[in-house]
Amino acid sequence: MAISNPTIVRSAAKSSSTAPLIEVHGVRKTYQLGETEVHALRGVSVSIAAGDFVAIMGASGSGKSTFMNILGCLDKPTAGQYLLEGIDVSGLTKKDLARIRNQKIGFVFQSFNLLGRTTALENTELPMLYSRVSKKERESRAREALALVGLADRAEHFPAQLSGGQQQRVAIARALANQPSLLLADEPTGNLDSRTAVEIMDIFQRLNAKGLTIVLVTHEPDIAQFAKREIVFRDGHIKRDDVLPSPQVASDVLKTLPTIED
């Protein structure tokens, strides 16, 4: 698939600060479940530079989802500090957090979460509905984002008319619509067959190559192999944090996989 028109991806080189995009210091998260306290995160510190591509691994209950929710500003840490682009997010109001999610973060989910009976184009426009973008610009930016994921010709299709891979690509286009500095993907390939999964990873790699920072949660080691860095969670701690010396290149892997006719 052709990836064209790269202007929509905010280049890391243009980022004003040299500080890491994400800085997390001693973050804890405790849930109160009835009488018992559940320690989802027990002091996590990590720093992610702009332009990185991080895969977060771990068994269920390891705290990786909680960590993702905190990175995505959907949840606040019980203790510790989270700086996103140098801004301490832990002290912000709900309204400010919504603004940060809208402007700085793009979400991709395992189950796509597209709105039914709404075209790919309108799904892509969704984040822009919540920022001051004129109708005309919304549409042109959404078309641009769809072109970026190779769906320029599917803009008027409804989710039900698209394959799983295509739906996830719409979801990626939606995540890119507001030109975020961080793309958070929560098991984005979990509902896809292996070839389509690699296709999605190909898109991520290309976006990353253009400077987009990506944090990806997965429990599939095959998928984590496409990232530049792998962080493994266990029992609310970071167990391992490795830079992968030679990540797999998705476009090369695709050549070895049999093509499935649509």
For another protein, the closer of residues 14 and 117 by Cβ is: 117
CB of 107 to another protein, least distance (A): 5
Contact positions vs another protein (CB under 8 A): 69, 72, 74-75, 94-95, 98-99, 101-103, 107, 109, 113, 115, 117, 126-127, 129-131, 135, 174, 178
Q: In angstroms, rounded to a whole number, what is the distance separating the alpha carbons of residues 146 and 153? A: 9
For another protein, the closer of residues 178 and 208 by Cβ is: 178
Q: In angstroms, rounded to a whole number, what is the distance separating the alpha carbons of residues 38 and 61? A: 10
CB of 128 to another protein, least distance (A): 9
Question: Taking the CB of residue 193, how many other CB atoms lie within 10 A of it?
Answer: 13
CB of 125 to another protein, least distance (A): 9
CB of 17 to another protein, least distance (A): 22
Q: In angstroms, rounded to a whole number, what is the distance separating the alpha carbons of residues 124 and 111? A: 16
Residues in the chain: 262
Beta strands, E only, the chain: 22-33, 36-48, 53-58, 79-84, 87-88, 105-108, 182-186, 213-217, 229-234, 237-243
CB of 193 to another protein, least distance (A): 22
For another protein, the closer of residues 174 and 229 by Cβ is: 174
For another protein, the closer of residues 134 and 259 by Cβ is: 134
3-state secondary structure of 107: strand
For another protein, the closer of residues 14 and 95 by Cβ is: 95
Residue 116, judged by CB atoms within 10 A of its CB (0-12, 13-18, 19+), counts as: exposed
